[in-house]
Structure 1
């Protein structure tokens, strides 16, 4: 796992139902040979973050606290052969479809509005989970009546230190998260 934060504390403090976890048998198949990733997706998972990430229902370990709309239906067949390798859809991410590269564990997105069909957005699942979590905790709530400065500060906090764990999300070749940040105040 790339991101070495204290994940058990995040799990303990997360709102009930916010973490979407993978079924153990599915995780073992998707991340075969990577016991750290399997443990991560079954014990921590990816934050739902009020719909920013939605997991495929067939992959999820459903919990009573998970909201029904935290689950998505697949875009394509289970496996997509691409020039980037074998990709398996995990769910939806901010209007795009998020995939796992079964060959190397990287995270890709298919964004219908992007120039590229598939874009690398994270080096591993922990990086995706961390960034989705950061976005959720840093964005101002509507009750705060945020100003453009509040949004700019939140964006700075989200970006801050991300390259320490993963240089892909806000790297020169990545457009997905830049497009998200451009419309950040809309989420």
Structure 2
């Protein structure tokens, strides 16, 4: 198994620089990365073999050009600036950023997966605050994601939370939960 770095994180670094300073170089980096995402949108849903072939035809030259562009810019800008830090991040991890060009199964990022688990991750933080509207809503949505009846889950969880030991709170999470009747 090999590590694949996510272009979304690389893009975010340049986006932050552009938002903060209006840097034309950061904007150019965003445009270059955006061209890669255009290719990815076009190949979404295709087989790994088709994705790899299209990436080799359309993305590989853009990635090579982006790397050369980064190296040129790094020689021209202040070494301690945030833009230089973003460029060095890209260049230092280049092999893992370009794995998607070698394997059609590898995505350029995992934004879809991160969006899918975000409610659960936020829920983990908010479970202790079910008296707040945000915590209760997150708890309900997490229960739904786990295929539970949210009302039954919340009522059962509240009924047994005081009896549960602190080192066993994970048993109350929606994906581990067993109704009191079954326990």
Structure with higher Rg: it is 2
- Whose helix fraction is larger, Structure 1's or Structure 2's? 2
Q: TM-score, normalised by structure 1?
A: 0.29
TM (norm. structure 2) is 0.29
